[in-house]
Structure 1
Amino acid sequence: MSKRNIANPSPLGLCGFALTTFLLSAINMETMGVTHPSIVIAAAFAYGGLVQLLAGMWLMSIGNTFGATSLSSFGGFWIAVAIILTPGGFEIEASYDSLEFQHAFSLFLFGWFIFTTILLMCTFSSSVAHCSIFLTLDIAFLCLALGRRYPHLSGTVYVPHENLTYVGGVFGMLSAFAAWYNALAGIAASNHTFFTLPVLQFPWSEASRKTRQRALAASNARSQV
């Protein structure tokens, strides 16, 4: 019976995360004058939400605990964001006054900042490329949470702090491109393409240790010839 090959679901989940984060971050930076996040709702439900959640479940089936936890959780995050932002349908924002909504959203984002910090600590044993996703995302969550915690009055309603939201958008954009980079590195490595991308393993990581062991074994083999 031939061995069954199973594809790596991580690049798929990373791409779902990257595109949705890219969209929201661009809006937080008011790119091209777009300030309303309605366009994010579709991507958050379908790609960042459903597809990323599926990728996380598939990672669970192949025993990747970190990938399953992170991708499934952020899939749930994007579905939750889509629910919050859906106008009329769920009426979450309408159930608060504008200041209370900003503070409630701030608590939501602070919770994700804490969760991302936990994931960030787990990436210190992997690679610089992998760690960079969570480091930049962690800063983005913190800035966006503080932006909602300290809103300012615009006319008769409270809106997120403009500068903190912009900085959160910048770091969110960096996280999106870091995720795309890691996705491309994973696809290139698995498909035997004409190029591979360096992910810069930390010297203390398991992958670096195995590389050193292989190099030592090869060196010993040459010396015995």
Structure 2
Amino acid sequence: MSHLEKASAELAANSPPALYSASASASQPQYYRKLGNPGPLGLFGFASTTFILSMYNVQARGIATPNVVVGMALFVGGLAQFVAGMWEFACQNTFGATAFTMYGGFWMSFGTVFIPGSGILDSYTTNGVLDADELNSALGIYLWTWFIVTFLLLIGSLRKNMGLIVLFFFLTITFALLGAGKFSKDNAVALTKAGGSLGIVTAFVAFYVGTAELLSDRSSSWFVLPLGPIPKGRVD
């Protein structure tokens, strides 16, 4: 056995499984890094931004203008969640990658609407007067589009765990109520507040699921939180 083969054999014996590929030949060992779970980052980014906007939607402490959420929407709910989605692709989790990347895009696009420099709100103004009906109809279509996306993700979550199922169930209804609130003239405030209330519930569910994923490793946490695993029956 050559010195190179001996060194490779010793390295293979002493390296943890996450850092050494047993399938590699002795003369050409291959190494790879074990990726962390990007789920908690994406869930916490989503939960915190959703909570803030939902508090504004229920007009907590008399707040009716949501513009403070723009920074959170762009960088926490948007950028952080988008990055988490990209890393989910690396972890071969198509569902997580799709959900985080889509909602990261949602928050960045939503925040952009309220940036004065974007000119989006100004485009609904004629001679200095805002056409509220047209703007609300446009936002209603926007929110109902996300209702459709969320409903499809709800279907995709049905074989994941109960935590995700509950999360997407409440989020689906939240988008439906917020979209209906933009379309309605008589019950707009009531529907928006109802959507905000469910949004708060959704945020706390997301906080729980994110914490459960953060504490999933018994070697680095004192306890774990149940997510309600779904039995994986045989599918022919």
TM-score, normalized by the shorter chain, greater than 0.5: yes
Q: How does 1:24-173 map to 2 (within 5 A)?
A: 24-86=53-115, 88-96=116-124, 97-152=131-186, 161-173=188-200
- The verdict on how the C-alpha distance between 1:205 and 1:170 changes in structure 2, with shifts beyond 3 A counting, is farther
Displacement of 1:61: 1.1
Identical residues among aligned pairs (%): 37
Displacement of 1:7: 0.5
Corresponding position of 2:228:
200
Corresponding position of 1:186:
213
Q: Secondary structure at the match of 1:89?
A: helix
Structure 1 residue runs without a partner (length 5+): 153-159, 210-225
Displacement of 1:35: 1.2
* Deviations 1:87-141 (CA, angstroms, capped at 9, x unpaired): x211212212210000000000010000000000011112111111111110000
Question: What RMSD over aligned residues (CA atoms) do the two structures have, in Å?
Answer: 1.5
CA distance in 1, matches of 2:232, 2:132: 47
Q: Secondary structure at the match of 1:38?
A: coil
| Larger CA Rg, structure 1 vs 2 | 2
CA distance in 1, matches of 2:223, 2:168: 25
Name segments (4+ residues, structure 1) moved above 6 Å. Answer: none
Q: Secondary structure at the match of 1:164?
A: helix
Structure 2 residue runs without a partner (length 5+): 1-11, 20-32, 125-130
Displacement of 1:182: 0.6
CA distance in 2, matches of 1:105, 1:70: 21
- Quick one: higher RCO (CA 8 Å, sep 6+), 1 or 2? 1
* Count of residues in correspondence between the two structures: 198
Corresponding position of 1:176:
203
Q: 1:140–1:168: 8 Å Cα contact kept in structure 2?
A: yes
Task: Give TM-score scaled by structure 1 length.
Answer: 0.84
Matched AA of 1:19: S
Displacement of 1:205: 3.3
Q: Secondary structure at the match of 2:207?
A: helix
Task: Give TM-score scaled by structure 2 length.
Answer: 0.80
